[in-house]
Structure 1
Amino acid sequence: MTAEEIIQGLTDAVVGGKKDVAAELAQKALDEGVDPYEAVINGLAEGMKIMSEKYDAKEVFMPHLLMASNAMYAGMDLLVPHIKLEGGGVRKVLIIGTVEGDVHDIGKNLVKTMMSAVGFEAVDLGKDVPIEDFAKAAVEHKADVISMSTLMTSTMDNMQKIMDTLNAQGIRDKVKVVIGGAPITKDFAEEIGADFSTVDSMEAANWAMDVAKALPADRW
């Protein structure tokens, strides 16, 4: 198989929810010398993007999305450890979670995938995460970036409370904060003091790595 065929196969495996095929092709990508970053971004992540768009258009439903996600992670588990990092191979630390009151995590998982692909060590707090846990994890892991999401307007206020906690503990200037989710706007991000917001997980990952590299190493 050519590199293009392997990458297309990874996309198709995710769209088809074929976990075993995704893992098999991920291993083949490594064996054949395909760039693991390209295999993740142009193969696995592209498949997940297609499925997310189909889900939004109500062409597929949650079970299909979960199968696609499982296939994507089967390939990710093999490929991500082989991605060559820039900047001397120093991994940056990401704290990520869905805020308290919201149990949705598909979007959060996709952002985590992209963040891992560009070189973050992702500390995944999961969904319905208590407000104080973001700051606690940031201190514990000496985080570079915090990513929080919600799909519900009723839990947007919890993002403000998390920002307030970071300020109250005197650690706001030590980390960069990106927020996302369907109801989130750039105006809201600015209002609560977050650094960035986007609906594009790859854009979020690239932004996060750029700003993380610029943070002083001795700030913690």
Structure 2
Amino acid sequence: MLNPTQLIDAWGYIAIFLIVVLGNVGLPVPEETVLTVGGYLAWRGQLRFAGVVSVALISAVMGDNLAYWLGRSYGQKLFARWAAARPDRVERMQRFVLRYGALAVFLARFVAGLRFMAGPLAGTTGLSPSSFFIANLLGALLYVPLMVGVGYAIGYGLGDRIERLRHAAGDIVLIVLAGAVLVVWLVMVLRGRRRRA
């Protein structure tokens, strides 16, 4: 199965959109990786920086709003599975959202474990749609360009080295496979000698 980096490399903006939406709805996808890879590919010239930021912003806000409405519509049923596995964590997050409301939604954008749960929790706890939308949008407006910028900066500072490693990786894989074949062959030869002795 392809990893997010390979998907973005192959499908570009479409992959960024789908992965970020699904990650914000609750799929365990590291959004940081997706945004950073998008920024790096913008540095390489495969994607445009403004395009990556725009697509990621739209998909992050869409995914979070979908999660918010799922929480508002299905309430605690949505968290039954998570609560069974980690009741203390879900309860703490609910208290955090209840206590801080829109500020919790804004801050959740910057915390990987809370990011995907902030939307449904805000919907469950009754935060108004307008408060959620504004807090979520403001968080995304800061977070998305920052993470895409990190990927671009990595390319700017280390891009040539990364590209050399990418090309060398193919050679390294061949060397490792050849080494593995050699080890298997040696083991078979040594076992054959022991059986004959």
Flag whether TM exceeds 0.5 (same fold).
no
Structure whose alpha-carbon radius of gyration is higher: 2
Determine which structure has the larger strand proportion and give its number. Answer: 1
Higher relative contact order (CA 8 A, sep 6+): 2
Determine which structure has the larger helix proportion and give its number. Answer: 2
TM normalised by structure 2 equals 0.32
TM normalised by structure 1 equals 0.29
